[in-house]
Amino acid sequence: MPTLPRLKRSRTRTGADVVARIDSAVRSLTASGLTWLNVVAPGVETATELAERFGWHPLDVEDIVSKRQRPKIDDYEDDGYLFAVLHFPAYDKAVQRLNAAEIDIFLGPDYLVTIPNRELLPVTRLFARCENDDVLREQLFAKGAGRLLYEVLDDLFDYCFPILDKIGHKLDSIEDDMFEKRAEDVVRDISNVKQEIISYRKVIKPERSTLRVLERRVDKFLPEELDLYFDDIVDSAERIWDQLDNYKEVVDGLESTNESVISHRQNDILRVLTIFSVILLPLTLISGIFGMNVHFPGFDTAALFWVIVGLMVGVIAGMFGFFRWKRWL
């Protein structure tokens, strides 16, 4: 990416794409000449201070504090750093839905800055491990900023697979419940899982091409023997995408099967109601004939009443037998 002139000016923009954020503490680790900073959802002031400290372009500050950026890789070759925006799935308890969590990454020759817009447990846990384990910190930091970035992304993608496993478990449960629970409950479960798969696909789809670009641009921050490490990250993203494709086909098949089950149950109900209607039809005819206000043989006698009742019972038994013979019942 061509280097843009760094203008000394402040940008005050109001709009839906920029949001105010609460400043959080800048956590820092340093070892073997490498510094790792992790800042969760910084405000404009903190982002500006970081930009002045490391020499980032002012437009990057806007990307940090903006509400949502598309995944991208900006390579500032002359300034010697790489800026990446990546998304990862995260469950939002407030809306009870799978959403995208954004992490902004600045990679320089002697520093790594990770800026998630919300706490990402894999990043927090890896930072805590490096903070508490001096040996681990020295091992990771001694291999350079690129290798440390690989460890961060590797933990983030490892965190994606349990979410996939939960979706797969939900699909298995739906398949088991399809013929046992009420159809309305299964329809709701299918809708929820389908929404999760769609949200997950929206996160991963643009990530795939971005990671390929990152794989090519990050080489200058990696020792030669480690240049294949980021190919593993790309493979992880492709595996997730392939699994989501499989889940999409499965949920579409479950939806079609459930619709067939609902239709079959409706047909059973209509068949029973039709049989009752057909049985009542001749009974209504018999009662209508003998209910006419005219005299007929046996009129006004108790014996004829029992004859009519017997005739009706015979008709019912004959029709039930006929339906069973036809296997309609």
Beta strand 34-38 with 111-116: parallel, antiparallel or unpaired?
A: parallel
Q: Name every residue whose Cβ is closer than 8 Å to that of residue 40 and which is 6 or more positions away in sequence.
A: 24, 115, 116, 117, 118, 119
Residue 226 pLDDT greater than 70, yes or no: no
Residue 15 has pLDDT above 60, yes or no: no
Domain boundaries, the chain: 27-262, 267-325
Task: Report the pLDDT value the prediction gives residue 14, as an integer from 0 to 100.
Answer: 34
Q: What is the pTM of this model?
A: 0.74
DSSP secondary structure string, 99-117?
EEEEEEEEE-SSEEEEEES
pLDDT at 165 over 80: yes
What is the pLDDT at residue 12?
Answer: 35
DSSP code at position 219? G
d(CA 277, CA 247): 44
**Could you read off the pLDDT of 68-94 as tens digits, one per residue?**
789 999 999 888 999 999 999 988 777
Helices and strands of the chain, counted as H and E runs: 8, 6
Angle (nearest 5°) at CA 36 between 31 and 42: 150
More confident residue, 312 or 25: 312
What number does CATH give the domain 27-262?
3.30.460.20
- pLDDT band for position 111 (50/70/90)? very high
31 burial type by CB count under 10 A (0-12 exposed, 13-18 middle, 19+ buried): middle
Residues 243-301: pLDDT tens digits? Answer: 999 999 999 998 888 888 888 788 888 888 888 888 888 888 877 777 777 777 767 77
Greater pLDDT, 154 or 263: 154
**Cβ-proximal residues to 106 (8 Å cutoff; 6+ apart), any chain:** 54, 56, 60, 81, 82, 83, 112, 113, 115
H-helix or E-strand containing 193? helix 183-217
pLDDT for the residue numbered 181: 66
84 in helix, strand or coil? strand
DSSP bridge pairs for 76: 81
3-state helix, strand, coil in the chain (%, to 5): 60, 15, 25
Q: How far apart are CA 75 and CA 77, in angstroms?
A: 6
Distance CA 70, CA 213 (A): 14
Lowest mean pLDDT among 15-19, 28-32, 58-62, 227-231: 15-19
Integer angstrom CA distances of residue 55 from 47, 85, 112: 12, 18, 13
For residue 18, the 8-state DSSP code is B
Long-range contact list for 199-202, CB < 8 A, 24+ apart? Answer: 199/89, 199/97, 199/98, 199/99, 199/100, 200/89, 200/98, 200/163, 200/164, 200/167, 200/244, 201/241, 201/244, 201/248, 202/100
